[in-house]
Amino acid sequence: MKLVFAGTPEVAVPALDALLASGRHEVAAVVTRPDAPAGRGRRLVASPVAQRAEEAGIEVLKPERPRDEAFLARLREIAPDCCPVVAYGALLPRVALDIPAHGWVNLHFSLLPAWRGAAPVQHSLMAGDQVTGASTFLIEEGLDSGPVYGVITEDVRPTDTSGDLLTRLAFAGAGLLAATMDGIEDGTLKAVPQPAEGITLAPKIQVEDAHVDWAAPALRVDRVVRGCTPAPGAWTVFRGERLKLIQAALVPDRTDLAPGELSAGKNNVFVGTGSHAVELLWVQPQGKKPMRAADWARGVRIAPGERVGAADVG
């Protein structure tokens, strides 16, 4: 088939690579979000998908909005058979959805209908799912509600962050998307409507969602830290400033600390929760680089009984 691939961030690149390597389909063009400011200089930088497409010598389309007439006209000229999508980042209007003969087929990083929305992996981790996966489905105008072509499953490991899990799903899902294109072309794959039961939503994680509640059980604290790493980053407050929590570990046998209470030794930093303690392993103080929690604690000289989360950010 002739394909136009739509995607933007790094997590979409493995799928583009899989389609380019398949040898069975022609990737005629790539659709991605416009160049965005990045780095300290805030200069405009092309998306990871745009950069990969340019390396491969593929035409790159960067519409401000997918309903822009110039973009739609070019898409009609290319006349793709199907448009595979991975984390494109913009809503597709009906007029665009109708152009390819086999529609737009999305690779979504959950087992639909669970976790429909922008942040399925983060929500899956924060909810404590033991198994997740990826799905390919035909895009409709509803939110991730279209019929499903195929799924893969992936076990959630005890120390997975959303970054870890998303990386594995990106590579495993790339094979699923390529196989879905093959099945659509040869007519062996039919999309099956999603069940009406089991629908959960996964909206974008807001900064406040990543604010750790130390009165919650340790398991909940651990899930928030892992689910919000690397983005937007779990956080708490220490001495009126935000402290980012990058890595923590459960310490079931330490139950003597009140919620948020700190206990710092030579090589360890423990924090009390609503159940047992957690150990802080890596943190990032406001305006500084990530560091080992023990190094941070030595620098700030934690006083006996001092707490995190005890005051709002000033």
Q: How far is CA 285 from CA 178, 243, 245, 249, in A?
A: 43, 5, 9, 19
CA nearest 223: which of 110, 130, 289, 294?
A: 130
**Is 195 annotated in some ligand binding site?**
no
SS3 172: helix
Quickly count: other Cβ atoms within 10 Å of residue 208's Cβ.
Answer: 8
- Report the distance separating Cα 214 and Cα 298, nearest Å: 22
Distance from chain centroid for Cα 74: 30
Task: Say whether 290 counts as a known binding-site residue.
Answer: no
Residue 110 among known ligand-binding residues: yes
Residue 112 assigned ligand-binding role: yes
Tokens of 107: 């690779």
Cis status, amide bond into 100, omega within 30 of 0: no
Sequence-distant (≥ 6) Cβ neighbours of residue 77 within 8 angstroms? none
Return the H-helix or E-strand segment holding 20: helix 13-22
Q: Minimal CA–CA distance to 135: which of 172, 94, 89, 92?
A: 172
Comparing CA positions, the residue from 123, 93, 97, 94 lying closest to residue 108 is 123
**Ordered DSSP codes for 34-64:** PPEEETTTTEEE--HHHHHHHHTT-EEE--S
247, amino acid identity: Q
Distance CA 60, CA 65 (A): 14
Binding site for (6S)-5,6,7,8-tetrahydrofolate: residue ranges? 110-113
Binding site: residue ranges? 110-113
